[in-house]
Amino acid sequence: MEVENPAWYCARTKPKHEHIAAANVSKSLGLEVFHPRLRMERATRRGIMRVVEPLFPCYIFIRCVLENRIHEIRHITGISSLVHFGQKIPAVPDCAIEELRQCFEAEEPMAVHDGVVPGAEVTIVEGAFLGFSGMVVRALSAGQRVQILLDFLGRVTLTEVDRKSLKLENRRVADLLPMLATTDNGDVAPAG
């Protein structure tokens, strides 16, 4: 009799249900689950808010012998489907999950800085310059105010705005990848 080895599979969750699906798979089925999350600050109309967001929105990873658990997984609250191509449900290579896990200690969310740094493209989301775009020049007064270059009436103008009134443009997981390789003190983490 041949013993089957468990593998990692990717499950699609309902929107904003990653944590619910992960908890249900772990608690109800006793399976190993990995869903990396990021802790960050986000500018909103109410000011800077601390949020925890999934690295892969609407996806979690489950380790199991799929043939034995496929029907149970599909019926877990929060799971929409297993990622598949036609009839094939591919396994995620162990090395891919291991590389990700090295960045996320003890399944805790990774702290990611907001990226409002010199050179970042921003849009003003409140105040007199609402809707205008600009480029960050530098942070002022303990990071509460930011100096930006603003294209205003055909002239480039240097102005100061509250940091909470800015929205970082082109914020995608791909933009975060260089930051994921840094440690909390800003040093680059060693490769390999």
Q: What is the pLDDT of residue 181?
A: 42
Distance CA 178, CA 175 (A): 7
Span 1-16, pLDDT tens digits:
445 899 999 999 999 9
Confidence category of residue 182, pLDDT binned at 50, 70, 90: very low
Residue 177 has pLDDT above 60, yes or no: no
Span 123-176, pLDDT tens digits:
888 888 888 888 888 877 665 788 888 877 777 888 888 887 888 776 544 444
Higher pLDDT, 184 or 104: 104
Span 78-109, pLDDT tens digits:
999 999 999 999 999 999 899 888 877 666 77
User: Taking Cα atoms as reference points, which of 158, 154, 161, 152 lies closest to residue 125?
Assistant: 161
DSSP class of residue 53?
E
Please report which helix (H) or strand (E) contains residue 24, including its range: helix 18-24
Residue 42 has pLDDT above 70, yes or no: no
Distance CA 88, CA 83 (A): 9
Q: What is the pLDDT of residue 75?
A: 94
What CATH number is given for 7-111 in this structure?
Answer: 3.30.70.940
Q: Indicate the CATH number of 121-180 among 3.40.309.10, 2.30.30.30, 3.30.40.10, 3.30.420.130.
A: 2.30.30.30
Domain ranges in the chain are: 7-111, 121-180
pTM: 0.60
Provide the H-helix boundaries in 59-183. 66-74, 94-103, 173-180
Range in 56-60, 81-85, 113-117 with the lowest mean pLDDT: 113-117
DSSP class of residue 118?
T
CB-count burial class (<10 Å; 0-12, 13-18, 19+) for 35:
buried
